[in-house]
Every structure is written in C-alpha cells, then in structure tokens.
A and B are shown apart, each in its own frame.
Chain A
Amino acid sequence: MTEEMSGAEMVIRALADQGVQHLFGYPGGAVLPIYDAIFAQKKVQHILVRHEQGAVHAAEGYARSTGKVGCVLVTSGPGATNAVTGLTDALMDSIPIVCITGQVPTHLIGNDAFQEADTVGITRPCTKHNYLVKRIEDLPGVLHEAFHIAASGRPGPVVVDIPKDIQFAKGIYSKPKTFPHTGYKPRIKGDIEKIKQAIDLMAHAKRPLFYTGGGVINSGNAASDLLRELVKLTGYPITSTLMGLGAFPAADPQWMGMLGMHGTLEANMAMHDCDVMICIGARFDDRITGRVDAFSPGSKKIHVDIDPSSINKNIHVDVPIVGDCANVLEDMVRLWRTGAIHPDKKALGDWWKQVDKWRGRKSLAYRPSNEVIKPQYAIQRLYELTKDRDTYITTEVGQHQMWAAQFYGFQEPNRWMTSGGLGTMGYGLPSSVGVQLAHPKSLVVDIAGEASVLMTMQELSTAVQYRLPIKIFILNNRYMGMVRQWQELLHGGRYSESYSEALPDFVKLAEAYHAYGIRCEKPGDLDHAIREMIDVDKPVLFDCVVDPKENCFPMIPSGRAHNEMILGDAAESLDSAITEEGKMLV
C-alpha cells in the first residue's frame, strides 16, 4: 500500500484512510495545493465555513455528537490564529480534533513572510500536541499519529502545520503501523487493587454519591451503559457536571440534576454532606468545588480519570484510579456483582430521606408568568415538544446555557454540545452545523443568547449553503444576562456595558441569510411557534423574547461553599452574602 504522491495528496489520502467524511475549512494561499487535492476527489467532503473559529467549533460539534475525530483545514497566519479559540475550547473540553494548518514554505519560516505566524509556537499551549512537518518523509506518519493522539487517552486537539513546499513535494505514502512517539501510551486499565479499595469504600458507605463528568461521554457509549448499570446496582444517587449530562438519564429517580455553581440544591448539598464520593471522569474544577477548603469536608473520595494530571490537582482524593472510565466501570460492576456486598440499608434509607428533603425545596422553581416568556419556561416547552424526537442540543454561553442544562432533560450521551471549560460565546451555532452534518435527519437546536449568537452569526450562511436545517433558539433578554446577573449581585447593580443595544431584527436577519425567521413574545404563542420552528425544513432563527431581568438560580457565589447556596427567593439578601474575597474570583 505504498504510493508516490504529493504532500497535499497525502493529506487528503490520510484523511480518507482515517475515515474522515467531512472536513471543515477555509482556503488561503498556504493551503492551495491541498485545496487542489480536495478538488480531485470525492471521498472527503469539504465544508466551507465563514470563519476559522467556526470551522473548529463545527468540528467539535461533529466530534462530540459522534465520538469520532473532527477535522479542520485552515491557511497560515490569520487562518491559524482565527482557529486558536476553537482549539483552546477543544483542549479544555477534551474534544478530539485534527487541525491542518498551511505554513509558508520552509525556506521562508522565520522571515516575517506574508501570512506567516509561528503556529506551533502559538498553539503549543492550546493543543494536546502539535507538529511542524519539515520533511515529506515524515508527513504520512505524522498525519496518522495526529489522529491517534487526538482520539486516544484524554482526547484533545492536534495541529499539523505543513509548509507549502512540503505540500508540493513528492514522497511515498503509506499508512504506518507504528508511530514515532513510542513514549505515548495512555493508561487504559485501572489498577485492580485500587478498584477493590474503591468498591470496599462504596460497599460500606452510609451517604454515597456518584459525581460524574465528560470523561464518561468521551469514553464512549459503553461507559454510559456501565455507569447506568453500576448506579442501578448500588441504588446510590448520582449527579453530574455540565459536560457529563446525558451519560445518566435525567428521567431516572436516582438522578439529582447537575451540580456546581448553578447546580441543584440537592446535588450540591449531597456533595457537601456525602461520606463516599465516587468521581468518574470529572475533574473537580472551580465551578464544581466552590470554596476548596470547604469542599465536601467529611467524605472519602474515589477519583477515576484517564489523565493522571487531573487527579489530586485541586482536591486531595483517597483512592486515585488512573484509567479509562469504561474499563474501570467494567471492573467495578463485576466486583460489585461478585463480591459479598451488604450495603447499610438503614443508613442508605436515611440518606435518601435527606436527599428527598432537599429535593422538596424545589431549587429550580421560578415564578411563572402569563405576560412575558420566562426563559426557564421556554426551555421547558422546547424540551416537551422535542423530547420524543431524535434531538441534539448545542448552546452558547451565559444564562441560557445554564437554564438549558437545568431544564432540558438529557437521556442519552452525545446529545449535548456546550462549551464548558473555556465558556466560549459563539460556540453553539457553528457547533450545530457540525452536529447537523453528522446527523442529517435529526433535529439540531442551538439554545442561544442574543449576544453570544452574534459572535459567530456568519455560520448561518454555511448552514444555508449546505441545507442544514439547524434551529437557533435565541433566548433574547436584550442583556448579556450572565454579566448583568453578576453586576446585579456583585457590583451594586451598575450595568456597565451589559445591555445589548442596537440588536439586529433577527427575523429580517434570517431572511437576509435566506434562512427562516420567527419571533415570539407571548407565552401563549410559544408552543405554536416552536412547532413551526421544528416543521420548517430550513435553518431557523427563532427570536424568543424573554423576561430581561430573570436571574439564574440556584447559585453558589464565587468563594462560597456548597451549603451556602443561594436560591431564587433568597436573592434579595444576596448582596450581603457575598464576601469581598468572593468578588475577586471570576
């Protein structure tokens, strides 16, 4: 299987050999040979985006909703720098991406040549790994290794920077069996002794809790299935991070809702009061832990993660297990089934009673209205009208994102695409483009904010070009709502620059893009309008005009502990509840 061809042809051939069907890209001088190679074949379809950031987010949506590697092609200089936000986003959320960047010819590198940027230098801190290919002999090996590294272990983005002369150079292509980086061997199988310790702790727990994250989704469907099995077997309550939603069904009685800054009261109180915490594929980040020294003070902690650097980073754990979630969960399920395990029924009964008491506080409750559309209500209606369909949800960043996480019930993994780690406004629209390409028959909805969506609005043009009927459901509160909320609660109501002045007419904007626009202003019209949105076989911009002043609760203010959560009704006394120190935190 060795053939002579140009570097540019090798790129496309390697993508095809890796099973890539869609390549999100934008042309430019330094990648023209690769665009020539694209022109000459049919296996890899190129999707022309409108901005390179959009290309990476689209690839992320594609990857997150399929479990495959998302693939991007951009030119040198501005093409590469425009991709940086997307790459950082993918790194923070562990999304497998291969991004090919063009580079000026090798003899011009370092010359301040036209459209030269130090791409490997710039992307080193925002990729899992990157390469500058300086010899045609190295190209096939590097391309295939890039896919291997992006997808294996803790997934992430990989950049392959290819100078133009290497794209023209002829060489021998083959699909290698081994890779140059022999030292790269992610640990898949967990240490069985540690897993036994974990099972022992779990078996004797009086107030146990599963705390799961995006690692379970990344580990594949088997991990979600095994998680469900283990949670059922144990009968313990389970919560999850933003990134982990869908690994366990939200409709299940053992589900406690999301935890963290805008998580449910029951999830956060259970985190605080549990005696055994079983963390699977989550990383104890600051949105989850709140005040670190008050984080779950009385619990023994088990932590399963494929990345050793995630363990003992923020929170000391008692039983660290390095391994792939599915692998470790399989061992756990087996040990639980075969061990002589007699959980403390009385203690567990009391624990569930306590959990139900917390649930009784109905921490997600909001005051309904017949006059204005409450954003929470809009998500609830969207959920009710789409839950029986084959639906995928993406989001932008802000209050709408948190309401989506709180009120849209995810039952399956890979159905929820959101920017968690980086919190990138503008993620959702291009991400939904990628999701829709991967799932042409499914319903794909971007739950958006009016400010976020303007950051990557141009990708609507991509959706129109490829006839991707994505639905952009804008919770339009005329504010950068999350900013306004923090200003209200932490900065004395001084709404500095957070009002979305001079908004476009989204219906006319949709029409200008040859898409379909809908505006809805009254709760009574909402169901009908959502149905219309679903039925239109076109990209839709849905301007859902909602209450501009609604806040997202519950909320753990920065610098506070889990049991110091603020509920909707308590909002008025909030100002005094936030410490000076808390204001310093982001």
Chain B
Amino acid sequence: MSETEHAKHLSLITVVTTGTPMVIEQIKNQLDRLVPVHRVVDMTLLGGSIERELAMVKIKGSGEHRVEALRLADAFRARVIDATTESFVFEITGKSDKIDQFVELMLPLGLVEVSRTGIAAIARGPEGMSAR
C-alpha cells in the first residue's frame, strides 16, 4: 500500500477478511473508528469491484523446464522481467486464483520463490471512493 493521492494525503487500503455479517459489520465499524481513516467501503456488498494481485515468480532450471516455463508464462500473460542463463523472474497480474494456479504450475519447473502484493481492489464505474 502506498499513498494514492499525494495532495490530499490519501491512501486506498484494501483489507481482505472473512466473517459472519455481524463480525464484518464490527470490523468495518472498528476500522471507521480509527482516527486517520476517512471512509470504509465494503467492496463485497457493493458488488462488481475489480480485484487484482501482482506477483513476481522466480524459477531456476535449464533445458526442457526452461522452455516449458516460458510457454506457460506466455499462456498466463506473465512477462519476463529478469533472465540469466539459468533463471527467470516472471511478473504476473490477475486475480488471486490465477496467480495461485501459475505458482503451482511453476513448482515442478524449478520454482525458487514468489513475492506477491495481496489484493488491491477498486470499484467499477465512474464514481470514486469518496463519492460512496
């Protein structure tokens, strides 16, 4: 999470959680109670929000594994952002399950490690959060 509107000193923070409706209500109220928080919006209740994650996936290998990794990356629209003769770092964005799936496929192909952001969400349509 970083500042998203410098002039207004604002950040948009996405929190992902689970709970009964009463617990969710409580979480929202507790967040709202924090002095620096401007507004809490329930994206799930709102419906139609867009959720994305970014991950960087490092694999190490040679020969067939390397070729296969590149082919899969292509299918997932992952980009190569670093390469050596024995490794790649892929950058991939998408919904969490797509990233999960990609990481799982990379496992037998020499997966070294993954760095991922967690979900960032935004509402569809013309309105910003301050209008909701």
Q: How many residues of B contact A (CB 8 A)?
A: 14
The reply to whether A316 and B22 contact each other, CB–CB distance below 8 Å, is yes
The reply to whether B32 and A129 contact each other, CB–CB distance below 8 Å, is no
CB distance from B124 to the nearest CB of A (A): 24
CB distance from B39 to the nearest CB of A (A): 7
CB-CB < 8 A to A149: which residues of B?
A: 35
CB-CB < 8 A to B37: which residues of A?
A: 183
CB-CB < 8 A to A309: which residues of B?
A: 26, 29-30, 32-33
In the complex, B36 has a CB within 8 A of chain A: yes
In the complex, A543 has a CB within 8 A of chain B: no
Q: How many residues of A contact B (CB 8 A)?
A: 15
In the complex, A273 has a CB within 8 A of chain B: no
How far does the alpha carbon of A182 sit from the alpha carbon of B34 in the complex, in Å? 12
The reply to whether A128 and B35 contact each other, CB–CB distance below 8 Å, is yes
How far does the alpha carbon of A129 sit from the alpha carbon of B9 in the complex, in Å? 18
Q: A312-B22, A316-B22 are in contact. Are A182 and B38 (CB under 8 A)?
A: yes
CB distance from B3 to the nearest CB of A (A): 14
Find the residue from B32, B34, B35 having the highest chain A CB count within 10 A. B35
CB-CB < 8 A to A128: which residues of B?
A: 35
The reply to whether B35 and A184 contact each other, CB–CB distance below 8 Å, is yes
Contact with A along B42-55 (1 / 0, CB 8 A): 00000000000000
The reply to whether B39 and A308 contact each other, CB–CB distance below 8 Å, is no
Minimum CB distance partner of A154 in chain B: B33
In the complex, B113 has a CB within 8 A of chain A: no
Minimum CB distance partner of A124 in chain B: B34
The reply to whether A183 and B26 contact each other, CB–CB distance below 8 Å, is no
In the complex, B25 has a CB within 8 A of chain A: yes
Minimum CB distance partner of A311 in chain B: B29
The reply to whether B38 and A183 contact each other, CB–CB distance below 8 Å, is yes
How far does the alpha carbon of A312 sit from the alpha carbon of B38 in the complex, in Å? 22
Within 8 A of B (CB), among A175-198: 180-184
How far does the alpha carbon of A311 sit from the alpha carbon of B37 in the complex, in Å? 19
Contact with B along A306-326 (1 / 0, CB 8 A): 011101110010000000000
How far does the alpha carbon of A316 sit from the alpha carbon of B34 in the complex, in Å? 23
CB-CB < 8 A to A316: which residues of B?
A: 22
Within 8 A of A (CB), among B5-28: 9, 22, 25-26
How far does the alpha carbon of A162 sit from the alpha carbon of B91 in the complex, in Å? 43
Minimum CB distance partner of B31 in chain A: A309
CB-CB < 8 A to A312: which residues of B?
A: 22, 25-26
How far does the alpha carbon of A307 sit from the alpha carbon of B26 in the complex, in Å? 11
CB-CB < 8 A to B33: which residues of A?
A: 307-309
CB distance from A143 to the nearest CB of B (A): 15
The reply to whether B35 and A313 contact each other, CB–CB distance below 8 Å, is no
Partner of B36, one of A183, A308, A313: A183
Minimum CB distance partner of A310 in chain B: B29
The reply to whether A313 and B39 contact each other, CB–CB distance below 8 Å, is no
The reply to whether B29 and A183 contact each other, CB–CB distance below 8 Å, is no
Partner of A313, one of B9, B26, B32: B26
Q: A308-B29, A309-B29, A309-B30 are in contact. Are A181 and B35 (CB under 8 A)?
A: yes
Find the residue from B30, B33, B39 having the highest chain A CB count within 10 A. B33
Minimum CB distance partner of B9 in chain A: A180
27 residue pairs of the A-B complex, CB under 8 angstroms, read A128-B35, A129-B34, A129-B35, A149-B35, A180-B9, A181-B35, A181-B36, A182-B38, A183-B35, A183-B36, A183-B37, A184-B35, A307-B29, A307-B33, A308-B32, A308-B33, A309-B26, A309-B29, A309-B30, A309-B32, A309-B33, A311-B29, A312-B22, A312-B25, A312-B26, A313-B26, A316-B22
Contact surface of B with A, Cβ cutoff 8 Å: 9, 22, 25-26, 29-30, 32-39
